[in-house]
């Protein structure tokens, strides 16, 4: 990629040099931000016209108030966020909009230049964050001739479409590997590792057949649930690391547990957790917040929204954890949950769930196999996620380099 042949000082310190024939405008000279109109949900008529809020499409209506294409800029809420509609639309009163009636510049070029202005970095309203139009208008905008604006937009549309397509393919690949990971666990903990082993009816309708030599018992007979809790008499200065529901997703603690002292901790911070336990959220069960505790911390406390399951002597702790995240168990927990917006299950119902297992020697083999396969899959997923991150960074950098004139795309063939 080549630079422009000649540059000049922009006169704006943080912008630096720009192509010699480009100019610096204030945003107010580049386009006009028009207020969106009020349109309550109950006032919307059935139609195909997209209704835009600050964060994107919020519904549909039968009338448009813009021409197309149209840029929508968040004014309240997700202020400064830039969306584009390629057909006439209805921006509501939490937004500004710009269509060809309100600019002499190329709309599709504005789509790329506006997000580089940092419109989401300031707010004039301390109550509800909002984008001040006057503040936005003061922003300097690097403006090429209209013909170059069109070429820049065409070039970036082409390049970002290629990048976005590659990102979507990688995301789909990640989903396929996540499905494979789930299948590996489900197969190993329901059928074992020997495909030729004799099978028997488990006696559980939703489970079907299991290896003939495996045991079936209720969870409460092979484990303890919520074995220990912090008493109300705990010293106020006792410090512990706290795991809340929001910290946990399927097979993962997402954030480092937060340090609290008992005196200023949430009242739900009570469940004592040890290495080898499995914690399972009994509220909002659709989130599948279930994970194995692999930390040695002596002062680990979980929310009372978890059931803390401690395996007995007949269970490998990791085998039990893999069993609890298998589809059969998760589906059962969700089916036992009550409530629509905030479904929950009682710990006693969890304890009565049937579990199935071989002897410890075979459990150990199953755990070893699962860990080997999931490590392989997780490595691929992690690599793909890093590649997506790099592609997103490249996309952002490419747009910035082109719209600020660091790269000359006038002769690029598309």
Query: Looking at the structure, do residues 309 and 222 belong to the same domain, yes or no?
Result: yes
Q: Does any domain span residue 158?
A: no
Residue 8's pLDDT is what?
96
Digit-coded pLDDT (tens) for 73-119: 999 989 999 999 999 999 999 999 999 999 999 999 999 999 999 99
Given a cut of 90, is residue 331 above it in pLDDT?
yes
Tell me how far apart the alpha carbons of residues 72 and 52 are, in angstroms, rounded to a whole number.
7
Examine the domain organization and report whether 124 and 238 are in the same domain. no
173 domain residue, yes or no: no
Q: Is residue 130 part of a domain?
A: yes
The answer to whether position 414 is within a domain reads no
**What helix, strand, coil percent values describe the chain, rounded to 5?**
35, 25, 40
Arithmetic mean of pLDDT over the chain: 95
How far are the Cα atoms of 91, 271, 276 from residue 245, in angstroms, in the given order?
36, 12, 19
Output the pTM of the full model.
0.84
How far apart are the C-alpha atoms of 225 and 362, rounded to whole Å? 24
Residue 171 belongs to some domain of the structure? no
Strands 209-211 and 269-273, bridge-based pairing: unpaired
Q: What is the pLDDT of residue 131?
A: 92
Q: What are the structure tokens assigned to 204, written together?
A: 């559980």
pLDDT of 126 higher than 70: no
**Is the previous residue joined to 5 through a cis bond, with omega within 30 degrees of 0?**
no
Average pLDDT estimate for 306-329: 97
Question: Which structural domain, as residue segments, surrounds residue 122?
Answer: 25-141
pLDDT in tens, 149-189: 999 999 999 999 999 999 999 999 999 999 999 999 999 99
Distance CA 291, CA 248 (A): 7
Nearest-10 Cα torsion for 47, 50, 51, 52? 180
Confidence at residue 255, expressed as pLDDT on a 0 to 100 scale: 87
DSSP 3-state of 15: coil
pLDDT at 122: 62
Last residue of a domain, one of 141, 165, 198: 141
Are residues 193 and 365 in contact, defined by beta-carbon separation less than 8 angstroms? yes
Looking at the structure, do residues 225 and 328 belong to the same domain, yes or no?
Answer: yes
In this prediction, residue 162 carries a pLDDT of 97
Task: Please tell me the number of Cα atoms within 13 Å of 348 on its side-chain side.
Answer: 0
**pLDDT band for position 297 (50/70/90)?**
confident
Which of 141, 162, 179 marks a domain boundary? 141
Query: Among residues of the chain, what percentage have pLDDT more than 70?
Result: 98
Beta strand extents in 304-400 (DSSP E only): 306-311, 354-357
Rounded Cα distance, 365 and 133, in Å:
64
Closest by CA position to 91, among listed 54, 46, 47:
54
Q: Does some domain include residue 259?
A: yes
Task: Give yes or no for residue 125 having a pLDDT over 60.
Answer: no
Q: How many domains does the chain have?
A: 2
pLDDT at 340: 81
| CATH number of the structural domain spanning residue 252 | 3.90.220.20
55: pLDDT confidence band, cut at 50, 70 and 90? Answer: very high
Whole-number Å distance between alpha carbons of 98 and 73: 8
- Other Cβ atoms within 10 Å of 54 Cβ, number: 25
What value does the mean pLDDT take over residues 297-320?
96
Q: For residue 123, is pLDDT > 70?
A: no
State the average pLDDT over residues 377-395.
97
The answer on 347 and 243 residing in a single domain is yes
Q: Work out the average pLDDT over 369-375.
A: 98
The reply to whether 283 falls in a domain is: yes
Name the band, by pLDDT with cuts 50, 70 and 90, for residue 127: low
pLDDT of residue 414: 82
pLDDT band at 214 (very low <50, low <70, confident <90, very high): very high
Is 175 part of any domain?
Answer: no
Q: Which band of pLDDT confidence, cut at 50, 70 and 90, is reported for residue 68?
A: very high
Quote the pLDDT of residue 14.
86
Instruction: Please check whether residues 339 and 242 belong to one and the same domain.
Output: yes
Instruction: Show which of 357, 378, 404 is a domain's final residue.
Output: 357
Q: Is the domain of 123 the same as that of 231?
A: no
pLDDT > 90? residue 364: yes
Domain shared by 223 and 333, yes or no: yes
Per residue in 229-271, pLDDT (tens digit) is 999 999 999 999 999 999 999 888 988 899 999 999 999 999 9
Q: What is the pLDDT of residue 23?
A: 95
CB 248 within 8 A of CB 291: yes
Q: What is the pLDDT of residue 124?
A: 62
């Amino acid at each position: 990629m080549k630079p422009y042949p000649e540059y000049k000082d922009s006169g704006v310190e943080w912008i630096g040099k720009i192509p010699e024939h480009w100019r610096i405008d204030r945003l107010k000279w580049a386009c006009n931000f028009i207020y969106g109109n009020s349109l309550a949900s109950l006032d919307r008529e059935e139609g195909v016209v997209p209704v835009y809020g600050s964060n994107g499409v919020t519904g549909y209506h039968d009338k448009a108030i813009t021409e197309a294409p149209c840029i929508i800029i968040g004014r309240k809420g997700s202020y400064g966020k830039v969306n584009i509609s390629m057909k006439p639309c209805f921006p509501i009163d939490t937004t500004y909009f710009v269509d060809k009636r309100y600019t002499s510049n190329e709309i599709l070029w504005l789509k790329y230049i506006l997000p580089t202005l940092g419109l989401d970095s300031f707010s004039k309203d301390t109550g509800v964050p909002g984008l001040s139009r006057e503040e936005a208008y003061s922003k300097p905008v690097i403006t090429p001739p209209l013909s170059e604006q069109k070429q820049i937009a065409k070039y970036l549309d082409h390049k970002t479409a290629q990048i976005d397509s590659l990102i979507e393919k990688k995301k789909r690949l990640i989903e396929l590997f996540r499905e494979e990971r789930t299948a590996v666990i489900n197969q190993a903990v329901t059928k074992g590792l020997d495909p030729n082993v004799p099978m028997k009816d488990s006696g559980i309708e939703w489970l079907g057949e299991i290896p003939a030599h495996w045991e079936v018992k209720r969870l409460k007979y092979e484990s303890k649930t919520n074995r220990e809790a912090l008493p109300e008499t705990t010293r106020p200065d006792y410090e512990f690391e706290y795991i809340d529901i929001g910290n946990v997703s399927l097979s993962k603690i997402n954030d480092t547990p937060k340090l609290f002292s008992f005196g200023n901790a949430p009242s739900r911070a009570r469940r004592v957790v040890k290495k080898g336990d499995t914690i399972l959220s009994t509220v909002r069960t659709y989130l599948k917040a279930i994970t194995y505790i692999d930390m040695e911390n002596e002062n680990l406390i979980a929310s009372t929204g978890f059931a803390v399951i401690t395996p007995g002597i007949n269970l490998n702790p990791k085998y039990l954890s893999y069993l609890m995240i298998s589809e059969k168990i998760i589906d059962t927990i969700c089916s036992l949950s009550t409530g629509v917006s905030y479904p929950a299950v009682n710990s006693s119902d969890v304890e009565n769930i049937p579990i199935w297992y071989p002897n410890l020697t075979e459990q150990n083999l199953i755990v070893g196999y699962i860990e080997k396969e999931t490590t392989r899959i997780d490595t691929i997923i992690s690599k793909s996620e890093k590649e997506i991150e790099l592609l997103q960074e490249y996309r952002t950098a490419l747009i910035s380099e082109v719209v600020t004139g660091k790269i000359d795309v006038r002769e690029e063939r598309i």
